[in-house]
Amino acid sequence: MITSTVQRLPERVTETLTKTGKSTALIMSCGFYTMEPKSSTNQKSNGSSTHPSHAGKGDAVIVHGLPEFWITKLLRRLPKKTWLYGAIILFVSFNILLGYEIQNPQILRSKAAVGQAMISIKPSQRVLLGDGVFQLWLTVDQPVAFTRMELAFNPATLKLTQEVSWIHPSLNRKIMMTAMNQANATGEIALAVGLDPTRKAHAPTGTFQLAEFHLAPNTTAQNVTTTIAFTASALQIIGSNGIPMNVISKEAGVTLNPVSTVTPMAVTGTPVPTRTPTPTRKPESSPVPTKSPTQILTPTKRPTNTPTPTRKTESIPITN
């Protein structure tokens, strides 16, 4: 008998080994077990005693060997039905995970960069006396496949005068667009448009115009200020890779029925120019010319006119 630390084997294993009458090695959870049948004579002579429940049965002598993995121990000890239950549990778990991944296809793709988008209204500031045109513009850094947005305005001060016009050639699959009458009643314009499948190669990117709409004052009050804004919870821009983008928005300000106020201007007098005195020129003495000697004139005698005698005509009588 080999003296070593002794451990009892399960009863059914002990019985099997006792019947064989040979040393048998078994691979158990603690290593190699060797079972040697013991006779009652040897038991008495050696003075060893056995447990009453194992009388006549051999002891197991442990010869330590290589340990088993924990999964091997667990599977070996499980009942046969447990294998079936485990297979069912694994099958159900696999289907649950597969269904979750199908509903969330982003998980199956490698992580991609999230796109950035900015949506705005042009002009951002406007004065309205009558009908005015506004435009929706989008700026993105990745191609776009789907857009959804909602504009909010005060229907007590503004109203649509025409149906909203969507003008982009590629994003032309209209999914939702609020009619003019409904928008004027609720003060909301909802738009949802997708990419035309035939124009996937032309998915828009960069800065481009989406739509335009016409608004006019719905009040006669003067100098009314109001805004046209986007509803943040309703904004959604999805890229052609299927990943939603980060979206920021810019609202527009509107002034209705402005009244021009004339501000009187202070009249400032025109300054009178100061007359500067004209300098007086001092007279300068002119040189006195030297008198030349006066020429003495000799009087000339004028001839006396001699009267010419006139002949007196005598009348001669005429006789017949």
Task: Express each pLDDT in 58-94 by its tens digit.
Answer: 444 444 444 555 656 666 666 666 666 677 777 777 7
User: Maximum CA pair distance of the chain?
Assistant: 250
> Which is more confidently placed, 109 or 129?
129
pLDDT in tens, 168-205: 889 989 999 999 999 999 999 999 999 988 888 889 99
H-type helices in the chain, by residue range? Answer: 11-20, 40-46, 70-77, 80-103, 180-186
Sequence ranges of the domains in the chain: 6-76, 78-108, 116-256
pLDDT in tens, 195-254: 988 888 889 999 999 999 999 999 999 999 999 999 999 999 999 999 999 999 999 999
Which residue type occupies 118?
M
**Mind giving me the DSSP string for 3-52?**
-S-EEPPPHHHHHHHHHHTS-EEEEETTEEEEEE---HHHHHHHT----G
Closest Cα to residue 242, out of 73, 55, 110?
110
pTM of the complete model: 0.50
Backbone φ, ψ for residue 145 (5° rounding): -115, -20
Give me the architecture of the 116-256 domain, per CATH.
Answer: Sandwich (2.60)
Given its phi and psi angles, is residue 223 left (phi above 0), alpha (psi -120 to 50 degrees) or beta? left
